[in-house]
Structure formats: C-alpha cells, structure tokens
Structure 1
Amino acid sequence: MRIVRSTESRRSETPAGVMTTLASPGLGGAAAPVWKVEAVAEAPGPVHHIDAEQVWTVLTGTVTATVEGDSAELAAGDTLVVPADAARQFTAGPDGFTALVIGPAGQQAYMPGKEDQRITPPWTA
C-alpha cells in the first residue's frame, strides 16, 4: 500500500490554471498519473495534443471542451474521454472549473505543427 499525503502533492501553475499531481510514477509510484485541474474563470487553455487517451471528470464549475473541432459544455459530474493525439482545448466557464484527470504514464504533449517538440507534462511525471 502506498499513500500520498496531501502535503506531498505537487503543484504546477500555468496562465490558465493550476495542476496538482495526486499520484504519478514519481509521486507514489502510480502506473497511471492522476491530477486535479483548477482552471481560472473564463481562461482558455492552449490548443494542444496529448499522445495518449485521457479521462476528465468535472468536479465543480463548467468548461467548454473542444476536441477535433467539436465543442461541448461540461458541468460537475460530467466525464469526457479524449482520444490520443486529438487536438484539444479547454475553456473555463464564468466561475472556472475543477476536474480530476487520469491518463497513462509517459504521455507526452505537443503543440499543433510541432510534433517533434514533445514534452512530458510535469504533473504527470
């Protein structure tokens, strides 16, 4: 049994919000990273790709998720499965949103047209 105490979680800040790592290969030795996203009200995240499937569950607030050009508004309790390599963008609603996200270890992010410049998001490592 491995326990990750709340005092051990890692926070990563971006202009659109804060990602808090709850478990990952480097935090608790989890095979599948789990992190919380707390997005700033009405802030659009960047259009980007992840080379692995992710599952997003909205805990509070609302978010407009655009995946491969299709948009949907999600609210607390809604879950979105985002396919690998799909172009995605998340835009927080008027009160922001909080979501719990899970994806496989080793996932890498890249920007449109920059497939050769992949990074491992720090909140998944």
Structure 2
Amino acid sequence: MSVIRLSDARRSETPNAVMTTYASPTQGSTSLALWRVEMRAGAQGPLHAMEAEQIWTFLTGSASVDLAGEALTVGAGDTLVLPADAARQVSTAEGFTAVVASTSPSRAYNPDARTPEGACALAPRDADRVLPAWIA
C-alpha cells in the first residue's frame, strides 16, 4: 500500500479549469486516477469523449452537461456517471468543484473527428487521442 502525500498532488491548468491529481499510475496507483476539478464561473470545456467511464461527484456549485445530446444539470451532492466514448461538454455559470475517478490510461478525443476516407473504422485515429496529464 502506498501513501500519496498532498505535497505530491499534481496540478494541471487549462483555460477552463484546474485539475489536481491525487492518485494516478504515475503517482503509485495501478490503474485508477482520482482528481479534483475546479471550473471557473462562466467557463465551458471542449466537446470531447473519453475512452473510459468517469464518475464525477460535485462538491460545490453546479454544471450543465451535454451528454451525447442529452442536457443534464448537476449540483453539489450529485454524482454523474459519464460512459466511455460518449460525447460530452461541461459548462458552468457559477463555477464548481468536483472529484473525479476513472481508470487510467484513458485518452480524450474529438468525437466528431473521423479516420481518413477509405479507412475501415469510423472513429478518431489513435494519433488524434490525448492522455490528459491529470489522468496519467
């Protein structure tokens, strides 16, 4: 068993949010990542999909989530299960803090991107998928 100290938490910042990673494969965990998301008021994340299911528990604030075309509203105390490979976009008027768990690695991709013409699969190419720093 390992202990990951708060001083070893990893902070990643995007234009829309700050993610603080508490556990991940690169921090001693085997296949699970756990991080906190703090999204600023008025922010909107990009449309994307993830290769693995994610579980988000909202601690403060609220968010609007477009999940595969379904409009969801979540707030403090709610837990949201985001299926693998489902298009999602998160936005917030007031800001929020959530804790998120997911298996790792899990790469993000644009669900509207497709392989070049003539390719067998109608899915984004591996080269177009990115492992976010907070999940690694």
Percent sequence identity over aligned pairs: 46
Whether 1:121 aligns to 2:132 is: yes
Q: Residues 1-125 of structure 1: matches in 2 within 5 Å?
A: 1-94=1-94, 96-111=95-110, 112-113=112-113, 115-116=124-125, 117-125=128-136
- SS of the equivalent of 2:26 reads coil
Unaligned runs of 5+ in 1: none
| Distance in structure 1 (CA, Å) of the matches to 2:7 and 2:92 | 27
| Distance in structure 2 (CA, Å) of the matches to 1:17 and 1:30 | 26
Q: Which structure has greater strand proportion?
A: 1
| Distance in structure 1 (CA, Å) of the matches to 2:92 and 2:28 | 29
Deviations 1:96-123 (A, max 9, x none): 1001001111111001315120011110
| Distance in structure 2 (CA, Å) of the matches to 1:40 and 1:73 | 16
Contact 1:57–1:79 (CA<8 Å) still a contact in 2?
yes
Unaligned runs of 5+ in 2: 115-123
Contact 1:23–1:30 (CA<8 Å) still a contact in 2?
no
What's the TM-score, normalizing by structure 1?
A: 0.95
Counterpart AA for 2:14: T
| RMSD over aligned Cα atoms | 1.0
- The Cα shift of 1:66 comes to 1.0
- The Cα shift of 1:51 comes to 1.0
- SS of the equivalent of 1:7 reads helix
